[in-house]
Amino acid sequence: MGLEEDNKKIEESMRETARKLLEDKEVDAVIGYTEGTLPMSSMAMVITRAEDVDKLIWNNYCYINLATYLVPRIAQLVDPEKGDLKVGVISKGCVGRAIIHLKVEGQLNLDNVKIIGIPCNGIIDRKRIEKEIGQKEILEVSTSGNEIIVKGRDFEEKFAFDEYILNVCKQCKVKSPPNVDDACVGECQEIESVSDDYSDLAEFEALSAEEKWNHITELLEQCTKCHACREACPMCYCNLCFVDQNKPIWFGKTTDLSDIIVFHLIRSIHLVGRCVACGACTSVCPMGIDLNLLIRKVERIAKDRFDFTSGLSSKVMPPMMDFSMNDSQEFMLEED
């Protein structure tokens, strides 16, 4: 089955599930994706009527993690009289994981959320394609078989889909949402653990400490510190981010490389055992920086030390919110 047929099947099933939830009054609203204003883009939309479900779409540019609209809830999801509305969320695997993990962190009530599961077949790395196209204007994008076809006024280029999806999608082991607390309808899966070989980190981990630092520096030197990655991340929900604090000031607020690196390193640490590998941070970066490396590295540490994967259970606490007497304590060294 080609990408077009695959996406059409996912879209039809998704719409039917959303329609039934709205008609049966199981939800007051559904958050999903609709066409973007530019090629290789999509937008989030909220519908409250069953007759509007045909506005919902699914394609390989639906990079937004829709869980970001739940914490804090946007105005469209709150009624002055009823309070928080019951909401259905179109959820690929990583969106479902984000919703489940937000529940674990006490940020939402799963009784008010229906995870409308779909089997994600990968999100295209649009920034990488834009970089390779260069200054030429992209007017039309389509898929045929396993190829992405990009057209402009005087050019047409083809890209292999399997090669040009996000790196996190290449490594993804949770394509559809985990079925937790019976909150998932549609395409869901029973999953208790994830086996990840982290082979994508092998080249980086083989470097010396100096080479690793040079690699990270080269990766981040184009960053303008626009904070788009933070805004797109479903786990960056703090009312006051450490970046914006002035008492105390954690680091400089300039675009000097040292401040940029500190920002990304601290943000990565804040995501230990919390990242759901949605790739939204990479997708929204205006400079096309793949932030996957830093996050994957700290996620591996959480997996190796605590055997924890975020968003698979509503009962298991993440490592930074819990402890065990058997936790490794090699940082506590006896004096000679």
Both tokens of 109, joined, read 């009530």
pLDDT at 97: 97
CA 127 – CA 167 distance, rounded (Å)? 12
pLDDT at 1: 62
Give which of 300, 27, 135, 133 is closest to 19, Cα–Cα: 27
Give which of 197, 336, 201, 319 is closest to 270, Cα–Cα: 319
Both tokens of 235, joined, read 């786990």
Q: Distance between terminal CA atoms of the chain?
A: 65
Q: Output the pTM of the full model.
A: 0.92
pLDDT at 268: 92
Angstrom CA distances, 108 to 18, 82, 98, 274, 312, stand at 21, 16, 11, 15, 16
Q: Which residues contact 88 (CB under 8 A, 6 or more apart)?
A: 18, 21, 22, 26, 27, 29, 30, 31, 113, 114, 115, 116, 185
Mean pLDDT of 252-261: 89
Q: Provide the 3-class DSSP secondary structure of residue 186.
A: strand
pLDDT at 192: 85
Mean pLDDT of 301-312: 90
